[in-house]
Structure 1
Amino acid sequence: MDNNKKIKWGIVGLGRIADEFAKDLQLIESAELSAVASRNLEKAQEFANKFQCPKAYGSYDELFQDDSVDILYIATPHDSHAELTIKALQNNKHVLCEKPIALNYQDTLQMVKTAKEYNKFLMEAFWTRFNPSVKEVLQHVQNGFIGEVKYVNADFAFVVENLEGNRTTDMKLGGGSLMDIGVYPLFLAYLILGIPKEIAAKSNFHATGADLQTSIILQYESAQAILHSSFLSSSNHKATISGTQGRININPQWYMAESYTLIQGEDKEKIKRPKLGKGYAHEIEECHACLWSDKIESELWSHQNSLDLIKIVEDVREQIGLVYS
């Protein structure tokens, strides 16, 4: 792709996350919001007007068929990620798909196969992977700053005031704390320690069958991770990576951090790494770098990374008995 031309984006699904994403898109000089789509044309037009976007569609298919759009950001509920991503790829669109990339491993595998078949870029929108603090923390771990990692602790929890009639508990939309926010702590454990040998998990459930809070222990050869997600209570939103020679705290809110703290004995050093905008800007920049290099996947968050993570999530679901139709 010509890196002298602006990359034209389309957004599919226009909820809160899409709004935040569009704001960050405006911070990237090489990006242009070219078209948006909702199943409600009035909503699409309102969104387009807000962000000075020239095209608004009242169906996703219309956007898929717009030849002027280079890449689509899929920001719909979890249950539709696989279907819409595959359809977009088949219409020769590159895709950034919101996390979790799909509800199960087989759907994710089909998405990856389609991207390869049509030679189109596909990446899961795990924006935390491209956060400056998180990237540096991983480098410190890989460089042996804290010795051999023995323990990872991370949580993501907040109170959902009205659980009734809410997408967070709607099983048709892939509801539950695990799929919505529990994937973040699982992502961090996977990033640092890889694929676990064993998984133990327990949940409390809503009447719909969605998990309201889930606690997870990942067992590795010589390390453990303890992780938690909840819609019932709040948490510190701090992550800790502990090793034989020290530890690293990713400061609140760790999944969108602007600083981290290195600790060795009594020595502590807080390092500030401001993010650009809300933090979505960094994954947008990664997409652009990959497109300019004609890559169909990112080296920082690859197709295999997404497959590995969704398999871990699927194993946790089996442990807790979280079943989608």
Structure 2
Amino acid sequence: MLSAQPDWSNLLGVGVAGVSSGVVRWGVLATGGIAATFAEDLRSMPDMEVVAVASRTDASARAFADRFGIPRAYGDWAGLVADEEVDVVYVATPHSAHRAAAGLCLEAGKPVLCEKAFTLNAREARELVGLARERGVFLMEAMWTYLNPVIRRMTELVRDGAIGEIRTVQADFGLAGPFGPGHRLRDPALGGGALLDLGVYPVSFAQLLLGEPDRVQADAVLSPEGVDLHTSMLLGWSGAGASALLNCSIVADTPQTAAVTGTGGRIEFPRGFFYPERFVLHREGREPEEFTAPAGTELRGMQFEQAEVARALRAGETESPLVPLDGSLAVMRTLDAVRDRVGVRYPADDVTPG
């Protein structure tokens, strides 16, 4: 995964200077909390605007449109997809609907930024990626961690040998909840559980550094509904001689930290590793070095992924080199393997491709 990347400073500002002119017009599909964050953050982006929103009801779409000053609201997905003034669609539904929502857009030739987890399972992910490549339409998973400039600086240091050969990765993401039986995180039909909502971050972090593992072990505590309340994972890379110890939870507030240890040093991230403001590099015989983004850089928003999508579209690219589709597929295969080990199944797993 540590292939050559553009200069990390390219994404330190929220603008998209240096690319061809023209406003990128977004459609937002769904009206939940993450969609609201996306629309709010886009307000600070030059040469971008949300021009349409869709929900399953007219009332929800109209309320969202009124809140963010969006000119058009649709009470169904089809209306948004058919809107000729929409250049790209941000899919913000629960991941149980990603396959259907993103697929509808891609079928119509609409570029898509799709929230994480990319889909419910690897089969659905393969279908989306296959469709995007067949149609030549842009598709990217909204893995904002990969586009964070601090994370990008870390990958450059690792690639340049700052800590030698990676031997271990540790990362965790857990929330205390409580999430009651009626919450979507407890519903198998909605892809509930800790793994797809929170575990996707530690897994993606490890695979950014090491690629897809060839060994997957896992243990979990399951809810009465059959979703994982807490999952521990041990991933292994035989060729690299490396392993990753990862945890996720919806019943415990974990430290939410990460560390990468190599033969020549280690890198440590404080709480909030999945969208960090800093990290510390430790090397034998040297004082610890702290790396941060420049003062004033806004890191807790979604502007970096918005900027990358705009850059790719203006460049005529159908995939992002920073969030490659093959990487998203590999993460979904690992998540499938973890669920297989701990006995979590979703109704969509039993659907036969049509």
CA RMSD of aligned residues (A): 1.3
TM-superposed CA distance for 1:250, in Å, is: 2.0
Question: Is the contact made by 1:276 and 1:282 (CA closer than 8 Å) also made in structure 2?
Answer: no
Q: Secondary structure at the match of 2:274?
A: helix
Q: Secondary structure at the match of 2:114?
A: strand
Structure 1 stretches of 5 or more lacking a match?
none
TM-superposed CA distance for 1:276, in Å, is: 2.8
TM-superposed CA distance for 1:79, in Å, is: 0.9
In structure 1, what is the equivalent of residue 152 of structure 2? Answer: 135
Query: How do 1:68-147 residues align onto structure 2 when only pairs under 5 Å count?
Result: 68-147=85-164
Gap change, CA 1:278 and 1:22, over 3 Å in 2: farther
Candidates 216, 219, 227, aligned match of 1:210: 227
In structure 2, what is the equivalent of residue 192 of structure 1? Answer: 209
In structure 2, what is the equivalent of residue 230 of structure 1? Answer: 249
In structure 1, what is the equivalent of residue 261 of structure 2? Answer: 242
Q: Using the alignment, how far apart are the partners of 1:69 and 1:175 within structure 2? A: 31
Q: Deviations over 1:279-321 (max 9, x none)?
A: 3110111101110111110011111111111111111111111
Query: How do 1:57-76 residues align onto structure 2 when only pairs under 5 Å count?
Result: 57-76=74-93
AA of the residue aligned to 1:257: P
Q: Sequence identity of aligned pairs in percent?
A: 35
TM-superposed CA distance for 1:113, in Å, is: 1.4
AA of the residue aligned to 1:300: L
TM-superposed CA distance for 1:249, in Å, is: 1.0
TM-superposed CA distance for 1:117, in Å, is: 2.1
AA of the residue aligned to 1:264: R
Q: Deviations over 1:220-259 (max 9, x none)?
A: 2211100000011111111100111111112221111111
Question: Is the contact made by 2:277 and 2:299 (CA closer than 8 Å) also made in structure 1?
Answer: no
TM-superposed CA distance for 1:198, in Å, is: 0.8
Question: Is the contact made by 2:275 and 2:299 (CA closer than 8 Å) also made in structure 1?
Answer: no
Q: Using the alignment, how far apart are the partners of 2:109 and 2:182 within structure 1? A: 36
AA of the residue aligned to 1:143: D
In structure 2, what is the equivalent of residue 252 of structure 1? Answer: 271
Question: Is the contact made by 1:203 and 1:320 (CA closer than 8 Å) also made in structure 2?
Answer: yes
TM-superposed CA distance for 1:30, in Å, is: 1.8
- TM-score (norm. length: structure 1): 0.97
Candidates 252, 271, 274, aligned match of 2:291: 271
AA of the residue aligned to 1:288: A
- TM-score (norm. length: structure 2): 0.89
Query: How do 1:298-309 residues align onto structure 2 when only pairs under 5 Å count?
Result: 298-309=320-331
Q: Deviations over 1:84-141 (max 9, x none)?
A: 1111111121000001111111211111111122221000110110001111101110
User: Could you tell which deviates more after superposition, 282-291 or 106-115?
Assistant: 106-115
Q: Using the alignment, how far apart are the partners of 2:215 and 2:183 within structure 1? A: 33
AA of the residue aligned to 1:310: M
Q: Using the alignment, how far apart are the partners of 1:7 and 1:247 within structure 2? A: 40
Q: Using the alignment, how far apart are the partners of 1:243 and 1:162 within structure 2? A: 37
In structure 1, what is the equivalent of residue 218 of structure 2? Answer: 201
Question: Is the contact made by 2:136 and 2:318 (CA closer than 8 Å) also made in structure 1?
Answer: yes
AA of the residue aligned to 1:223: A
Q: Deviations over 1:190-221 (max 9, x none)?
A: 01111112111000011111100000001122
In structure 2, what is the equivalent of residue 288 of structure 1? Answer: 310
Are residues 1:5 and 2:19 paired? no
Q: Secondary structure at the match of 1:73?
A: strand
Gap change, CA 1:277 and 1:185, over 3 Å in 2: closer
Are residues 1:313 and 2:313 paired? no
Q: Using the alignment, how far apart are the partners of 1:113 and 1:236 within structure 2? A: 37
Alignment coverage as a number of residue pairs:
324
Runs of 4 or more, structure 1, over 3 Å off, are: none
Q: Using the alignment, how far apart are the partners of 1:271 and 1:26 within structure 2? A: 28
TM-superposed CA distance for 1:40, in Å, is: 2.1
Q: Using the alignment, how far apart are the partners of 2:225 and 2:259 within structure 1? A: 33
User: Could you tell which deviates more after superposition, 205-214 or 259-268?
Assistant: 259-268
Q: Using the alignment, how far apart are the partners of 1:224 and 1:306 within structure 2? A: 20
In structure 1, what is the equivalent of residue 16 of structure 2? Answer: none
Query: How do 1:20-31 residues align onto structure 2 when only pairs under 5 Å count?
Result: 20-31=37-48
User: Could you tell which deviates more after superposition, 277-286 or 89-98?
Assistant: 277-286
Q: Using the alignment, how far apart are the partners of 1:223 and 1:277 within structure 2? A: 30
TM-superposed CA distance for 1:68, in Å, is: 0.6
Q: Secondary structure at the match of 1:224?
A: strand
AA of the residue aligned to 1:293: A
TM-superposed CA distance for 1:277, in Å, is: 5.4
